[in-house]
């Protein structure tokens, strides 16, 4: 009888153990899907850029190039490849965000901290190992009063600037306390799948004001550049190198909205320009902390982001108020967004822990509507 009871107890124990083994967690159906190319060691993305034919993602050490769904990448010898990655040959600081254009990228240089590298964006990885494929510019050699290259941190903005005319604007500080810039016109030559960048011409840019900023605020505004070396001055630089005072204030955020540009100063005052930064008009008050947001345009609508949150914004016609809506970020929680781009009917988001995407038609889903859909009946 004791043996029968012992056998029954053993069977009960094993049946409980088996029940635990077969239990599994149900996978979550996230709104934002993780791109498999950028998992694990490839996930630290700092910037992105979308052209008509390519979508680029830059980490601190690699540049990735994605083509549209169903297409083969033209700059690789392997067939059936939609995305390729190229090692930059240098590891940039993870705290800095470098610019990307349709043809070029700017990075730090392996020659030292006084150099800046300008690289053609379309190249197989072998070209990034070649010193002849890119340009290393020694900013220290430009001026005997050279001090250093100022940095701003990825949350403030881009290190240096690029425009659509294949021009780069590179910044450096000189004695005793002035900011200078070098405007570089770049030629790009293609030979098969290889691209080479070379300097066409350069122009030195000087600013009348002393350099007083803890952070350097600088922006693209069309093909012009806008630079704020002090809290009281903003200068506009045209593609031919002309410099003029655009405003007697510094702009801490600047973005395009509909047919004009909007900028905020440090006192939460908003300004607009309808002539690509040549002049600015005081227009409205800005809600607190709006200067902390990063801004972009998706499907011709104004989008802002901060950490893992995404918002759609729409100003009233007279700028007396702004309507902002929190968009669905399910799958992005806890991730720091560094850029958002629209490409091939999808929206791609680069973060410090991968690239995430969803269909463009679903991008403007409100967070509150998604949460309502997930509530149990």
- Of residues 20 and 91, the one with the higher pLDDT is 91
Mean pLDDT of the residues in the chain: 87
In the predicted model, what is the mean pLDDT of residues 273-291?
Answer: 91
Q: Is the pLDDT assigned to residue 5 strictly greater than 60?
A: no
For the record, the structure tokens of 368 come out as 């509150």
For 219-270, give the secondary structure using H, E and C. Answer: EEECCEEEEECCCCCEEEECCCCCEEEEECCCCCEEEEECCEEEEECCCCEE
Mean pLDDT of 161-186: 95
Segments making up each domain of the chain, as ranges: 88-292
**pLDDT of 221:** 96
CA–CA gap between residue 58 and residue 121 (Å, rounded): 10
Q: Tell me the C-alpha distance between 195 and 133, whole Å.
A: 7
- The predicted pLDDT at position 132 comes to 60
Q: Is the previous residue joined to 176 through a cis bond, with omega within 30 degrees of 0?
A: yes
- pLDDT tens sequence across 28-47: 678 999 999 998 778 899 99
For residue 161, give the nearest of 227, 234, 260 by alpha carbon.
227
* H or E stretch at 191: strand 178-191
Predicted pLDDT at 129: 52
Least confident of 46-55, 92-101, 119-128, 171-180: 119-128
Over pLDDT 70: what percentage of the chain? 87
Rounded distance between C-alpha atoms, residue 312 and residue 330, angstroms: 16
pLDDT at 123: 64
Greater confidence, 224 or 16?
224
Segment 259-284 shows an average pLDDT of 93
């Amino acid at each position: 009888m004791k043996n029968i009871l012992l056998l029954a107890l053993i069977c009960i124990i094993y049946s409980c153990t088996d029940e635990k083994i077969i239990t599994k967690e149900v996978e979550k159906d996230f709104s934002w899907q993780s791109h498999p190319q950028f998992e694990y060691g490839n996930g630290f993305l700092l910037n992105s850029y979308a052209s008509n034919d390519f979508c680029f993602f830059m980490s601190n050490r690699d540049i990735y190039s994605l083509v549209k769904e169903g297409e083969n990448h033209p700059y690789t010898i392997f067939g059936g490849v939609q995305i390729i990655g190229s090692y930059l040959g240098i590891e940039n600081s993870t705290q800095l965000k470098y610019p990307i254009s349709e043809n070029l990228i700017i990075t730090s240089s392996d020659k030292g901290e006084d150099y800046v590298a300008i690289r053609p964006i379309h190249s197989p990885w072998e070209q990034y190992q070649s010193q002849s494929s890119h340009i290393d510019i020694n900013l220290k050699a430009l001026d005997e009063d050279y001090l250093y290259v100022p940095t701003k941190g990825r949350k403030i903005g881009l290190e240096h600037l690029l425009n659509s005319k294949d021009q780069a604007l590179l910044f450096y500080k000189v004695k005793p306390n002035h900011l200078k810039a070098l405007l570089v016109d770049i030629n790009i030559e293609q030979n098969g799948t290889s691209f080479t960048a070379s300097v066409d011409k350069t122009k030195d840019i000087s600013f009348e004001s002393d350099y007083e900023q803890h952070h350097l605020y600088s922006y693209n505004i069309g093909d012009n550049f806008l630079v704020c070396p002090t809290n009281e001055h903003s200068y506009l630089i045209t593609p031919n190198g002309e410099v003029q005072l655009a405003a007697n204030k510094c702009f801490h955020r600047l973005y395009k909205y509909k047919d004009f540009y909007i900028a905020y100063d440090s006192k939460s005052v908003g300004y607009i320009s309808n002539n690509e930064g040549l002049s600015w008009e005081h227009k409205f008050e800005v809600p607190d902390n709006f200067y902390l947001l990063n801004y972009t345009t998706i499907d011709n609508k104004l989008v802002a982001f901060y950490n893992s949150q995404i918002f759609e914004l729409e100003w009233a016609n007279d700028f007396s108020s702004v309507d902002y809506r929190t968009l669905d970020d399910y799958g992005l929680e806890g991730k720091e967004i560094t850029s958002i781009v629209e490409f091939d009917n999808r929206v791609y988001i680069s973060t410090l822990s991968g690239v995430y995407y969803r269909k463009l038609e679903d991008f403007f889903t409100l967070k509150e509507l998604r949460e309502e859909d997930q509530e149990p009946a």
